[in-house]
A and B are shown apart, each in its own frame.
Chain A
Amino acid sequence: MLTIENLHAQVEGKKILNGIDLDVKAGEVHAIMGPNGSGKSTLSAAIAGHQDYEVTKGAMLLEGEDLGELDAEERAHKGIFLSFQYPVEIPGVSVTNFIKTAINANRKAKGLEDMPANVMLKKIREKSNLLEIDSRFLSRSLNEGFSGGEKKRNEIFQMAMLEPKLSILDETDSGLDIDALKIVANGVNKLRAKDNAIIVITHYQRLLEYIVPDFVHVLFDGKIVKSGTKELALELEEKGYDWIKEMA
């Protein structure tokens, strides 16, 4: 699904990623852990195509296709989804209107007509039921006045609607209490499938109790310094990031 080879990236001239190699196959869930400043969010932004993040070396391939030259929206059209750590507010644009616009933009890119309103409505109902989202929530302005939990749930709702091939969940657990965390994790688990893949980026092991990964990678100083299975996350939790720092 996603292959990253020797990826180097910088922000405003500052080198953040120093040679990342990662291979994510369809049906897999990978967790990327690491201390603050290790480059976790930079990696997600680089994959999504944020233009402030300059790739200086290496390559990213989605199903064999080089992402390097593609704009953020083109990467989205190819099936890359980023659940933001801090979702932005767009006043006056309802959750429904936003997702409708996004879905039709993706369809247009594929040469399809707009999704008929009744089909859209059905899909919205289905996905909001799946994620236990109140219909009143759908008419509110995007992220405006949302609690932390609501914002993250809205991200997962959009993921459900857009049905991406590769989803990156950037610090989805940050700012969530345990109940909200469970709801969000539960939603993500329902969306796991054979033909999609998920990268979970997190600082803490806590989220991985609910979204159980197939692989865990530890990022430090812009490099993956250790990879393993879910047990690695527990070990990391126990020994702390200093253990990694000593290793690096």
Chain B
Amino acid sequence: MAYTEEELKKELETKEYEYGFYTDIDSETFPVGLNEEVVRGISKKKNEPEWMTEWRLKAFDAWKAMKEPEWANVKYNKPDYQAISYYSAPKKKDQYKSLDEVDPELLATFDKLGISLDEQKKLAGVAVDIVMDSVSVATTFKKTLAEKGIIFCSISEAIQEHPELVKKYIGTVIPIKDNYFAALNSAVFSDGSFCYIPKGVRCPMELSTYFRINQAGTGQFERTLVIADESSYVSYLEGCTAPSRDENQLHAAVVELIALDAAEIKYSTVQNWFPGDKSGKGGVYNFVTKRGICHTRSKISWTQVETGSAVTWKYPSCILKGNDSIGEFYSIALTNDFQQADTGTKMIHLGKNTRSTIISKGISAGKSQNSYRGLVQVSPRATNARNFSQCDSLLMGNKCGAHTFPYIEVKNKTAQIEHEATTSKIGEDQVFYCNQRGIDPEKAIALIVNGFSKEVLNKLPMEFAVEAQKLLEISLEGSVG
């Protein structure tokens, strides 16, 4: 038998979260609730300098005066911010000097995720800074990087070891008052990654961080800061998985990228957080603020594959401040069951001859809602700005939704803006055609979806692209065998 809409739908509904497990690790967790004492407590726990504590408190004050935004095309029960614990760290002895010292259960968890350090070490050219429940537990390849003067460590470590860099750049691209979730993150961020590439250095390996949310009821507030000094280059990968959980988990990360003159940053994300079960219960709320600033002749490229989370609210953006700078955004957002995604980008053209490209691929299945929201803004002095945007949507079944909200604000007559959009549906005839060639329905859908997403998959580093392709397959297929 070939495949009908009905069966297709049924099959999609049988999808189960692959990484649905929970590791019982002895952790140290703050009591629930958020107040000045908690903010101070986090800062103290992390042994932060006074300026950092003050910065957090300023952010907390700002946050208190702000309202949770409601403009996105998503519906959810707002989290009770007083019912969340804001700090959870695996209890540590001192520093881990080798893998032997790491909690075996933690290592087993990494194994399940397919990212065992052993494997990672062998993987050519990938250094991994693993963030688990907010505290970095292991960093590899640090030495190789150090030889080139590259700093790649947890943000907590950077605050201790390189306070001048952190102080100079943190909050410069995303000010603490930028938005509700960024303010919250600034107040309570627990950990995250820091990366600095010195002048003229080309980072010899893909820098890679895996994030997880593990402890029940702890929000995760990651803070990432990447600084590429003049004429440097770095490719940064961020991958995420999370265990199944019954209650909603909040994730409000902030990522700031700084590309100084003639520098290039490639930032790739594969996100696979628990999307909630088939009835729409549970799942991660992903409210992320990601933004980069491009100085003269520099380039920032965001690539994202978003398959997880119950609610996604995410707009990796570029401020094209310097003349001749380039911003790129390549995105695949896949939603299934009751998932909701409102994602896109902002390209702010300030400098002359600035260029931006937006390629967005939205895939909706089940009863999910998938929205692209993008802003292309050309300021009065941004002479000869160019933008090309392409937003394609693929629908599976007839209970899901795809939406496109492109905003274009042009204040300079020399700008050239192009916007293309398409919507298509996976046809029974396409699936039957594949079946007739011996390709089963699951594989057929994966093939069609991968074909649809190809332009974006091609932008990912090779090993990541393979992983992302698998993830798209897993996200759409059931465990039908």
Please list the residues of chain A having a beta carbon within 8 angstroms of any beta carbon in chain B. 48-52, 71-73, 76-77, 81-82, 84, 87-93, 97-98, 101-102, 105-106, 109, 141-142, 158, 162
Contact = CB atoms under 8 A, between A and B. Distances in A.
Given A71-B2, A72-B2, A84-B433, A92 B452 contact: yes
Nearest to A109: B438
Contacts of A109: 438
A51 B4 contact: yes
Contact of B436 (A52, A76, A92, A101): A76
A182 to B, nearest CB: 26
Nearest to B449: A92
Given A87-B433, A88-B433, A101 B451 contact: no
A105 B437 CA distance: 9
B3 interface: yes
A52 B439 CA distance: 18
A88 B427 contact: yes
B104 to A, nearest CB: 35
Interface bracket on B: 20 to 34
A91 B447 CA distance: 10
7 contacts: A73-B440, A82-B436, A91-B452, A97-B447, A98-B437, A105-B437, A141-B451
B429 interface: yes
Given A51-B2, A51-B432, A90-B430, 20 more contacts: A49-B1, A49-B2, A50-B2, A51-B3, A71-B1, A71-B2, A72-B1, A73-B435, A73-B439, A77-B438, A82-B436, A90-B447, A92-B452, A93-B448, A97-B447, A101-B443, A102-B437, A105-B438, A105-B443, A106-B438
B421 to A, nearest CB: 15
Nearest to B3: A51
A162 B438 contact: yes
B11 to A, nearest CB: 13
B95 to A, nearest CB: 45
B425 interface: no
B357 interface: no
B435 A71 contact: yes
Interface in B215-248: none
Contact of A92 (B432, B441, B451): B451
Contacts of B440: 71, 73, 105
Interface in B1-49: 1-4
Contact of A90 (B2, B443, B448): B448
Nearest to A161: B437
A65 B165 CA distance: 73
B429 A88 contact: yes
B453 interface: yes
Nearest to A92: B451
Contacts of B140: none
Nearest to A107: B438
A202 B3 CA distance: 27
Max chain B Cβ within 10 angstroms of own Cβ: one of A52, A73, A93, A106: A73
Interface in B408-455: 427, 429-430, 432-441, 443, 447-448, 450-455
A99 to B, nearest CB: 8
B1 A76 contact: no
Nearest to B426: A90
Given A76-B437, A105-B440, A50 B448 contact: no
A50 B435 CA distance: 9
B204 to A, nearest CB: 28
B2 A76 contact: no
A160 B448 CA distance: 23
B39 to A, nearest CB: 48
Given A73-B439, A91-B452, A50 B432 contact: yes
A76 B448 contact: no
A76 B438 contact: yes
A162 B437 CA distance: 8
Contacts of A101: 439, 443, 447
A13 to B, nearest CB: 16
Nearest to B435: A72
B451 A48 contact: no
A35 B441 CA distance: 33
Contacts of B441: 73
A92 B433 contact: no
A222 to B, nearest CB: 22
Contact of A51 (B1, B429, B430, B433): B1
